[in-house]
Structure 1
Amino acid sequence: MGYDLKMRIWRGDQEGGELGDYTVEVSEGEVVLDAIHRVQATQAGDLAVRWNCKAGKCGSCSAEINGRPRLLCMTRLSDFDAGETITVTPMRTFPVIRDLVTDVSFNYEKARQLPGAELGPRDDDGKRRMMQIDVERGQEFRKCIECFLCQDTCHVVRDHDHNKPAFAGPRFFLRYAELDMHPLDTHDRRVLAQGAAGLGLCNITKCCTEVCPEGIKITDNAIIPMKERVVDRKYDPLVWLGNKIGLRPRDYEGRMEVGEGPVRRP
C-alpha cells in the first residue's frame, strides 16, 4: 500500500543552504533511505547522500531525521504518521560537504592519536593466550560500525566547536576502554585519556548511548568505568603508592583495579 510522503531535505554546501520541499510516493515497509533515493531518481538527481550497505552495518548513511541523529537505512517510514513531514538534515557536528554528506575526517584524526595495542612477549611455544571471559569483556565495544552518530549527538563538540582539538568523543572513549580491558595489552592509556583525549569533559548525559544503532552501552560500560580508572590512578593514595613501589595494581580489598579478570600491568 503506497502513499505520498512529504519530505524536507537540506540542500546546500559549506557556503550555506536551505530546506527543500519534496513529495514522493512511498510504499509500506520502506525506510527513509528508500524515499531519499526516489527523490534522487524523480526530482533531484544532484542530491548528495552517502550510503553503502543499506543494512545498518557500514555506518555510511548517518544523518539527522526530525532533529535526531539516525541511520537513514534503519529508520522505517512506519515510525512516522503517514501525514507527517519528515525533515532530513546532515549531521550538525561536522562540516557539510554537500547536501546530506558531511566531512567526518575529525574522527579519523582522533583515531590516529590513539595508540594501538602493545602486546608483551609470546609464550614459550610462540603463542599468546587469554581467558575467554577476557575476550568477551570487550566484545560489546567491537560491535561499533563507526557511524559517528554518538560523536554527532555529543554536545561537548556539537554545541562547542572549539572543544574539538581537546576532545576525542564517545566513539574513541569506547576504543580506549576496549584496549584498556585487553588482558595482553601493556600500554597504560589512562593519562592520555584524561589529557589529550579530554575524558574529563564528558559529563555522562548518555546521549551517545541513546543514538547508538548497535545498542552499545557506551556510557555505562565504557566511559564511566574509564573515568573511574583514571581517577583511581591519579587520586587514590594506595594506588599511587603501589605504582611508585612497583606493586601489581590490586585493590587492597582483593578486587582488581581494572575490574574483573587478570590485571596486566605491573
Structure 2
Amino acid sequence: MSGYTAHFKVWRGDVGGGGLEDFKVEVNDGEVVLDIIHRLQATQTPDLAVRWNCKAGKCGSCSAEINGRPRLMCMTRMSVFDRDETITVTPLRAFPVVRDLVTDVGFNYTKAREVPSFVPPEGVGPGEYRMMQEDVDRSQEFRKCIECFLCQDTCHVVRDHEENKPAFAGPRFLMRVAELDMHPLDAAAEGGLDRKKTAQDEHGLGYCNITKCCTEVCPEGIKITDNALIPLKERAVDRKYDPLVWLGSKIGRRAR
C-alpha cells in the first residue's frame, strides 16, 4: 500500500494549560505513531516535546495516550487505524504535564523507593541461591516489566483520584511486592517485615478492585491482576482473617 496523509490531533502545552492542535502529516507503510511524531518535529513543529529512547518497545519512555488508550507510541502501528480516522495523541493523564507529551512520572519512583528490597537469606552467599524452576518462572514474568507506567496511568485509583496517590502504590509496585512475597528465598519475615501486611497497610492493596485494566494495557503481556494482585490479596486476607493462621502466629510468638 502506498503512503497517505493522516489527520493528527496532538496535545500542546505545559503545566499552565494547553490544548489539541491539528496536523496533516504524511504516513508511509510500516510506520508507527512515534515515526509520525518525529516527522511532525522534523517538518512542522520542531519544538514539540516528546520522551523516547529505544524505539523498540523495551525502554518504556514513549508512553502516551492514543485515542484515549494508554500505549507505547513506538509499538502502535499506523496500520491499526483507518486512513480517514483522526488520531489523537495526548500525554499520560494520571501524571502532571511537563510540556506537550512529556509528563512528570516521579510519583512512580517515589513509590518504588517505598518498597523494601529483596532480603537475602542468612548464611547463603552470592551464587549459592537455589530455587525450583517453577518459582523462577513465576517471578520471571514480573521481571519483564519495562516500567512504561501504562498500568499506573490506566488504574482508575490513580487516574481519577489524585487524593489516593499518597496511600496507593499502584499496580506496578503492588506487583513488585507480590513478586517479593512469593519469592522462596526472601528472608524479610525473619527480620520482622511482613510483606502482606505492608501491602495492605502501607501500599494500598485494598484500593485495587481487580478490574484488570492494568493487565489490558501492559505491552509485555504480564498478567498483573491474575498472577500478582489477586494472589497477593488472597494471601493478605488469609493472614488477617484465617483463624488457623492467626492462632499459628500467636503460638509462634510465644515460642520465641
TM-score range for the pair, normalised by the shorter chain length: over 0.9
> How far, CA to CA, are the matches of 1:244 and 1:153 in structure 2?
41
1:129 Cα deviation from its structure 2 partner: 1.8
Query: Is the counterpart of residue 112 in structure 1 residue 106 in structure 2?
Result: no
Cα deviations across residues 50-77 of structure 1 (Å, max 9, x unaligned)?
A: 0000000000000000000000000000
Match in the other structure for 2:217: 211
In 2, distance between residues paired with 1:80 and 1:32?
10
Show CA shifts across 1:166-197 (max 9, x none): 00000001101111111110123111100110
8 A contact 1:122–1:128 mirrored in 2: no
SS of alignment partner, residue 214 of structure 1: coil
- The equivalent residue for 1:263 is none
Aligned counterpart, 1:223: 229
* Residues 1-266 of structure 1 mapped to structure 2, 5 A cutoff: 1-123=2-124, 127-187=128-188, 188-246=194-252
Q: Secondary structure of 1:246's match?
A: helix
Distance 1:127 1:164 in 2: 39
Unaligned runs of 5+ in 1: 248-265
SS at match of 1:129: coil
| Structure 2: distance between partners of 1:203 and 1:126 | 39
CA apart distance, 1:242 = 1.0
Instruction: Answer 1 or 2: which has greater helix percent.
Output: 2
Per the alignment, in what secondary structure is the counterpart of residue 27 of structure 2? strand
- What is the SS of the residue equivalent to 1:175? helix
- Classify the secondary structure of the residue corresponding to 1:17: strand
SS class of match (1:110): helix
Q: Which amino acid aligns with 2:38?
A: H
CA RMSD, Structure 1 to Structure 2 (Å): 1.6
1:234 aligned partner, one-letter code:
K
TM-score under structure 1 normalisation? 0.91
CA distance in 1, matches of 2:53, 2:125: 45
Distance in 2 of aligned mates of 1:151 and 1:68 = 13
- Alpha-carbon distance, 1:123 to partner: 4.5
Moved more, 119-128 or 200-209: 119-128
Which whole-Å deviations, capped at 9, do the CAs of 1:85-117 have from their partners, x for residues lacking one? Answer: 100000000000000000000000000000001
The residue matched to 2:220 in structure 1 has which SS?
Answer: coil
Question: How far is 1:15 from its partner?
Answer: 0.3
Give distance in 1, aligned partners of 2:162 and 2:125: 51
Deviation at 1:125, TM superposition (A): 11
Q: What's the % identity of the aligned pairs? A: 73
Mapped contact 1:117–1:179 kept (Cα < 8 A): yes
Q: Matches of 2:103 and 2:6 in 1, distance apart?
A: 25
Whichever residue aligns with residue 40 of structure 1, its letter is Q
Deviations 1:206-245 (A, max 9, x none): 1000000000000000000000000000110101111221
Once residues 195 and 75 of structure 1 are traced to their aligned partners in structure 2, the CA distance between those partners, rounded to angstroms, is 38
Question: How far 1:246 sits from its partner (Å)?
Answer: 2.2
